[in-house]
Each structure stands twice: as structure tokens, then as C-alpha cells.
Amino acid sequence: MASSQTNGQAAGQASTWTPSSWRSRPMKQQVVYEDEAAVAKASAKLQKVPPMVTPTEIWKLRRALADVAQGKAFLLQGGDCAELFDYCNDSAIDSKIKLLLQMSLVLIWGGNKPVVRIARMAGQYAKPRSSPMEKTADGREVPSFRGDILNGFPEDEREIDPERLVQAYFHSAATFNYVRAQIASGIADLHNPLDWHLGHVGDPEVQAKYKSIVESITESLRFMRTVGADTTGKLETVDLYTSHEGLLLEYEEALTRNLRHPINRDAPPKMAPAPAPKVSPLTGGALVDNTKQEPETTGYYNTSAHFLWVGDRTRQPDHAHIEYFRGIENPIGIKVGPTTSTEDLVQLLDIVNPNKEVGKVTLITRYGESKVNELLPQHIKAVSQTDHKVVWQCDPMHGNTRSTSTGIKTRSFHSVFSELSSALKIHKQCGSFLGGVHLELTGDAVTECTGGSQGLQDEDLGERYETFCDPRLNEKQALELAFLVAGSQRQG
């Protein structure tokens, strides 16, 4: 029986949700297509392609995030700011998988709890921009680069191309297919953690710290085997989920399917709408109907990724993106920044999670190191006064972006760790706990963020500044951050 959810929080009255009901709402970051027929053709194609993820996987993640919301696990989410179609190659994918696995190993050691891994990968192709146009070096105006799903980075590829919608699906599918194959082939086998070489990281201190952690885990595994407690089959693989910002709703709608709920679904069943009362042909009065209202057996799942989030620029309670997000079964994230009022925050939670399901919503805070101490306690208090049980996740990247004197966008490693460290302390002071971290990172030896043990300065950024959008932590900086967080957890 198809889902037909209602929620009156945004509009002041109940309204039926469908995958396309967002089209009746105002919208930020709207895309203007010149060829609507081409968009319709691409959407029709996407409506027929196989799902990339399944309801069973989605609910497995929801159950894991429920553990995070209750302090039983920690969430690590990371990947590129703007994923490119060109990143769909084995080298680029392997480097990101290995980095996330390495970081999770460090965090498991630090927090002594399971780590839920979500990659910003296999779909992070759309990016919000502050302006639809930008100026080139020679003073010309061209459309802004909005991600490979819409246009290309070269200036002669900036026209919006609907065919890229379909290309995005196939690049996502190929990427995730390779991720699945690598995990199934044992890339994450904890029996052989030393195979996770540190790649570009040559710093002896970082190498020594990681080696010490690996040796500690290896010794624990050896002990388990000795006493006959080896959990054969459970240490050779991990769960790695995919995620992206649900920005381009035409794409998300086309990949939203009404599917049967899996047996691992934990949420209380929603009831199907009551049928219209039957009328007596003799008296014209209503007949007594003893038919029981049946629970719904299907729901709407976004099959483009396990987890989607709505950005800081598109989270208006009465706008299109929140209208779309309120109807899907997937776990979702909401970016929370300096412009988020406590009233809006509570209203957003009521809209997207009216049944207050634990772990359904992740609040991704992104204030900047200078504002986190002022704003985070207010938001924690506002949520704590409701019945919502959310995952609190810190994004220490976006609020700390700055430009150098030559106009290059960068972030300071010190500022990133400062905001993250402050968030850990504030949650503890407020009787809450930080459930996860959300990072823009790459497994390559790029030079996009300053600081860290490498001591990168503004003048070093030109060595390997390769991002097509925002600056990312390189492998060394990302691992160093994981060590610092693990140290904070141990001191906790």
C-alpha cells in the first residue's frame, strides 16, 4: 500500500506528501534549464534505472545512527567538497576508502566504541553557489560551476546540460560498485591492518602513532583467537555508506521509489489513510465499516544514497528542500549555522521527523571557531527541551573558510580543530555528547588547508591546490585530526 504522509507543520495545515510535492514550494538554489524536454527525457531515464541502495541497507544505517544518537557509537563522515566525474577511478576511490578506514581505526581506539562510516562519495556532484554568475580572470562573466551534475568546470562547459543528470547516476553507480567490490575483497580486513599503508604521509611521528594503534589492535585480535573468541567473518569487512547533499531535487525525485519496507525496519508502522465512509443507497447515511486500518507496507526511499543532507542555504521550513526531505525514509542531515534560530531548528525537526524517531535526523553544526561557543549551547538547549533524539555532528570546515591576500580560498587546520574541540567540550558541559564529525577531505597530498604538522602556510597552497570548490584536508591533516579527536575522547 503506497505511503501518503501528511504533515501540517510548514504550511499550517495538513498536506499530502509525494516525491514531487516540493514543486509547489518556493525554492533556493533553483536551476534554470533551457531545454525542459531534455530534462523530462533525462528524468524518465532515471526513473527506470536500478536503485543504487536498498531499503535494507538504509534501515541498517538508521539503526546504526540510532546507536550514535544514544552515545553507543561515533559517526565519521567525509569526502570531497565537490566530487567530479573524473574521480570515478580506482586510485581516487581507493585513497578515500583507505583514509576513512584509517581514521575510523584511530577513532575506535580513542573512543572505545564502534564507528559508523559514511562517505561523501558516489553522488556529491551538485554544489550550492552564492551567485549564479562569476567573473573570469579577464573580466568576462560566465555561469558559476555548480557541480558536474549540472555543468563542467572548464569555462567553455558552463552551460547547464540535462544529460549530466544521467551521467551522474552512472558515475555514482560505477563508483559505489567498485567500493562494494573492494570491501567484499577484504580491503578493510582488521586481521591485516598493516596493509593500510599511509600512502603520502611521511611524518615519522604520525607513522609511529598509527603503528602503535595498529599493534595494539593486532595484539587484541591475537588474544581473541588464542582464547577461542575470534569472531570469524565479522572482522574482514565493514559497512561503508554513501551520502551527498540533496540539492538537485529533479535528480532526487527521479530516484525516489515506493518500495516495500524491509524486515529490519525499526520504526513504528505508519497507518494507511482511512478509506472514505461508505454511504447507504437507501438512507443516504454512513454505513458502519468494521474494516481495520492496515499499516503501510511500503514507503518512499531515495535510492541515490543511504544518507542525504539539506544545506545551510536551502533549509527554510516552508521551502522545497524541506518539503522533499520530510517524506523520505532515509536518515537525513540538516546543516545548522549562525543564521539558524532556535525556533526554526525545533520547527525543522517537527517537520521532518514528526514521530520523533531516534537517529532519523543528524544535526550538522557549522558555526566557525569564533561563534561555536555562543551558538551551540543555545541549539543544544532548544533541542533538549523537546522529545527529539538527534545525532549531533560537528562540521568544523565550512564556518572556517577564508581567503588569502591573493584570493585563494583556504582553511586553517588550527581553526578546524579548535571548533571541533570546542564542540566536544560544550556538549559535555551541556549534558549532551558529540556524536560525529563531518569533514571535507581527500586521500591525496594536496595543499589546500594551512597548518597541521606539515606547517603549511598561505604561500605553500600553490604547490598542489587541486580542489574545484572548497579546500579539503589532505591525508596527513585528516589523520592528524583523527589522532587529536581520539586523544580528546580518551581524556574525556
What's the CATH number where 430 sits?
Answer: 3.20.20.70
| pLDDT (tens place) for every residue of the chain, 492 residues total | 344 444 444 443 358 999 999 999 999 999 999 999 999 999 999 999 999 999 999 999 999 999 999 999 999 999 999 999 999 999 999 999 999 998 998 899 889 999 999 999 999 999 999 899 998 888 899 999 999 999 999 999 999 999 999 999 999 999 999 999 999 998 887 666 555 566 556 678 877 887 787 788 778 777 877 887 665 556 567 899 999 999 999 999 999 999 999 999 987 666 556 556 666 666 666 655 555 556 789 999 999 999 999 999 999 999 999 999 999 999 999 999 999 999 999 999 999 999 999 999 999 999 999 999 999 999 999 999 999 999 999 999 999 999 999 999 999 999 999 999 999 999 999 999 999 999 999 999 999 999 998 899 999 999 999 999 999 999 999 999 998 999 888 876
Which residue(s) pair with 436 in the sheet? 75, 393
The answer to whether position 194 is within a domain reads no
Which domain covers residue 177, as residue numbers? 41-130+141-188+237-261+297-491
Measured CA to CA, the distance from residue 317 to residue 371 in angstroms comes to: 23
- According to the model, what pLDDT value does residue 329 have? 98
Asked whether residue 430 is domain-assigned, the answer is: yes
Would you say residue 414 lies in a domain?
A: yes
Residue 88 annotated as binding? no
CA-CA distance, 151 to 143, in Å (whole number)? 9
- pLDDT for the residue numbered 233: 56
Q: Quick one: angle between helices 90-111 and 204-226, nearest 10?
A: 70
Please give the pLDDT value at position 488: 86
Q: Which residue has the cell 508502522?
A: 269
Q: What is the pLDDT of residue 250?
A: 98
Residue 7: predicted pLDDT: 42
Task: Decide if 225 is inside a domain.
Answer: no
Residue 195, judged by CB atoms within 10 A of its CB (0-12, 13-18, 19+), counts as exposed
pLDDT of amino acid 231: 56
Residue 214 lies in a domain: no
Residue 351 sits at the vertex; the CA angle it makes with 347 and 353, to the nearest 5 degrees, is: 110
Residue 382 to residues 188, 349, 379, Cα–Cα distance (Å): 39, 11, 5
**Is 321 annotated as a binding-site member?**
no
Instruction: Classify residue 232: in a domain, yes or no.
Output: no
Is 91 among the domain residues? yes
394 is in an annotated binding site: no
Looking at residue 224, its pLDDT comes to 74
Count of structural domains within the chain? 1
Tell whether residue 335 is among the known ligand binding residues. Answer: yes
Asked if residue 25 belongs to a domain, the reply is no
80 is in an annotated binding site: no
* pTM, rounded to two decimals: 0.90
CA distances from 300 to 17, 58, 254, 297 (A): 10, 12, 12, 11
